[in-house]
Structure 1
Amino acid sequence: MTFKAAAVQMCSGVDPQRNAESMARLVKDAAARGAIYVQTPEMTGAVQKDRPGLMGVLRDEENDLIVKAASDLARELAIHLHVGSTAIKLPDGKIANRAFLFGPDGAKIASYDKIHMFDVDLDNGESWRESSVYRPGERALVADLPFAKIGFGVCYDVRFPHLFRAEAMAGAEILTTPAAFTKQTGEAHWEILLRARAIENGAFVISAAQAGLHEDGRETFGHSMIVGPWGKILAAAGGTGEAVVMAEIDTEAVKACRAKIPNLKNGRDFQLDIAPVLAKGGVTV
């Protein structure tokens, strides 16, 4: 099946209401241009590194502003709308970095909590400890939509290929990695990672990203991208500011790529051995 997909690039601030308005404007633009599947970035609702400030605007899923706005938009535009993620308040005081997929009737089809936490110290002085604030997800997800099977991931998940391999083995034809990649890591790895996930799974990869300098001082890499199953970049945005990138998705191309390089079928289980260390003279130690 062939259809149009869009990745919406944003520069979300600290106010969910303003971010919801930006989301609506960009999603409507994508739908007007024929997209029936539209994806927004990670942390669509608020990019806010100050924990008290973030906690002050958080709501549970039932009362979340972005969740309601996205449901209404999907219904109004009769599209499948994928909120790349937004922060959801949990009963235990932690936060879920949660993606949502809404159908053309506005109903929630599925949600996915980011599994892998970005706990890193970068050499430019940036330090991140997502696990101190967010509760990691425990379940991968593939949604079977009328036009394609879609596998879910969020940002740092893209560095864990076994997640996407499991989704591809479950039939996913499109893999998704909405993100708020840091500028430093994005410059080094973003395109390579997205193209690698596409090539190794023979799948489309759609990645809506945050871009530019945010209100909280964070700088994100942008370059929202749609990659084909052969690794070709089909559409890409720049590194700053809002954008809508679109591409024609033909799921027959997934079948063709997987027929050419049938690595999903050719994989084998194996045993990993650790060879003993040999001292000088060939003596095992």
Structure 2
Amino acid sequence: MDDLQGLPAAPLTVVAGQAACAALDVAANAATAADLVRRAADRGGDLLVLPELFLTGYELAGIVADPTRHVPAPGDSRLDVLAAACAATRTAVVVGAPARDAGTGELRISTLVLGRDGHRAARYDKQHVTPGERAAGFGAGPRGCTLSLDGWRLGLGICWDSGFPEHARAAVRGGAHAYLVGAMFGRGNGERQLATVFPARALDNTGYVLLANHCGPSGPYDGCGRSAVWNPDGTLLCDAGTDDPGLAVARLDPAVLAGARSREPVLVDPSLDAPVLPRSGGTV
């Protein structure tokens, strides 16, 4: 585990990816994700982040109707193409997918993390589910998740998590240097939300913030794209616009992070947030 109070020694290139996904077709979406991994690697990416429920689309009713088919299990062969792309390019990926609680079988909205070797490294379950998601049959995850990659600590969030300032704050107080979110923000009000929330999360916590958002219709929504990365001072670093496929490629710089935090010190004490948002870790 990295020193929670330390800063990374070298830059890291992260990529927010977006592309149209096929409703409830895990194999097709895994192939699309693999293509995005290769595109990200061609642009120097160390880690690619993809939107919420990317492997199925935001198809809550369909997932609930047949979870055995639509929830990728550990070792699911449909993800082999994605694992192979990660291993071939040495690029890690964070991809949205439905999951099940191992103890209760309750459905979760999750992100799966595949490391540079293509093996599963971690899973994060969305902690702040919307009323509609809860009504559809999805439960909230019990804890946060912070990844370690090349000396960078990366806190994970999913869509509505980002609307709760304490969620990102728990990640940063636990040592995170960046906050990575896969989401479904639709056109209109969703565009206004993301343009407000994500710079605020960056500025509040003097950390990098990344958003990977859907860029087309999925379930009841029409994703507005705008996958992007913000600097620790809240300014926009890069934006994929509405491209399909689209990538927002950002170089996270330890010097920039150090400069921001020297002006606005971050108190790192993971024990302060553990009772409310306990966090788990993984290395990718």
Distance 1:101 1:50, change over 3 A: closer
Task: Report what 2:215 is aligned to.
Answer: 211
Which stretch has the larger CA shift, 237-246 or 55-64?
A: 55-64
Distance 1:66 1:43, change over 3 A: farther
Matches within 5 A, 1:212-251: 212-214=216-218, 216-239=219-242, 241-251=244-254
Shift of 1:232: 1.3
Distance 1:204 1:220, change over 3 A: same
Task: Report what 2:282 is aligned to.
Answer: none
**Cα deviation code 1:43-84 (max 9, x no counterpart):** 11112536246643413522545654433322121122222x
Task: Report what 2:22 is aligned to.
Answer: 13
- How many Å separate the matches in 2 of 1:232 and 1:183? 22
- How many Å separate the matches in 2 of 1:228 and 1:50? 33
Task: Report what 2:258 is aligned to.
Answer: 255
Matches within 5 A, 1:20-31: 20-31=30-41
Shift of 1:181: 1.4
Matches within 5 A, 1:139-154: 139-154=143-158
Distance 1:254 1:222, change over 3 A: same
Task: Report what 2:129 is aligned to.
Answer: 117
One-letter code of the match for 1:7? A
- How many Å separate the matches in 2 of 1:48 and 1:101? 19
One-letter code of the match for 1:155? C
Computed over aligned residues only, the root mean square deviation of the Cα atoms, in angstroms, reads 2.2
Task: Report what 1:86 is aligned to.
Answer: 97
One-letter code of the match for 2:236? I
Shift of 1:35: 0.7
One-letter code of the match for 2:61? R
**Cα deviation code 1:157-190 (max 9, x no counterpart):** 0011111111101110010111111324312210
> What runs of 5+ residues in structure 1 fail to find an aligned partner?
120-127, 270-285
Distance 1:113 1:217, change over 3 A: closer
- How many Å separate the matches in 2 of 1:68 and 1:55? 25
State the secondary structure of the residue aligned to 1:200: helix
Match of residue 157, structure 1, among 151, 156, 161: 161
Shift of 1:247: 1.3
State the secondary structure of the residue aligned to 1:221: coil
- How many Å separate the matches in 2 of 1:22 and 1:100? 15
Residues 58 and 89, structure 1, Cα contact 8 Å, conserved in 2 = no
One-letter code of the match for 2:207? A
| 2:71 is equivalent to residue 59 of structure 1 | yes
- How many Å separate the matches in 1 of 2:199 and 2:77? 33
Distance 1:118 1:256, change over 3 A: same
Distance 1:62 1:189, change over 3 A: same
| 2:6 is equivalent to residue 3 of structure 1 | no
- How many Å separate the matches in 1 of 2:101 and 2:169? 29
State the secondary structure of the residue aligned to 2:54: coil
**Cα deviation code 1:122-153 (max 9, x no counterpart):** xxxxxx34453212101012122224110011
| 2:113 is equivalent to residue 101 of structure 1 | yes
Residues 150 and 173, structure 1, Cα contact 8 Å, conserved in 2 = yes
- How many Å separate the matches in 2 of 1:191 and 1:74? 31
Residues 148 and 251, structure 1, Cα contact 8 Å, conserved in 2 = no
Structure with higher RCO (Cα < 8 A, 6+ apart): 2
Runs (4+) of structure 1 exceeding 6 A deviation are none
One-letter code of the match for 1:104? R
Distance 1:158 1:217, change over 3 A: closer
State the secondary structure of the residue aligned to 1:17: helix
- How many Å separate the matches in 2 of 1:256 and 1:171? 16
Shift of 1:219: 1.0
Percent of aligned pairs with the same amino acid: 24
Task: Report what 1:279 is aligned to.
Answer: none
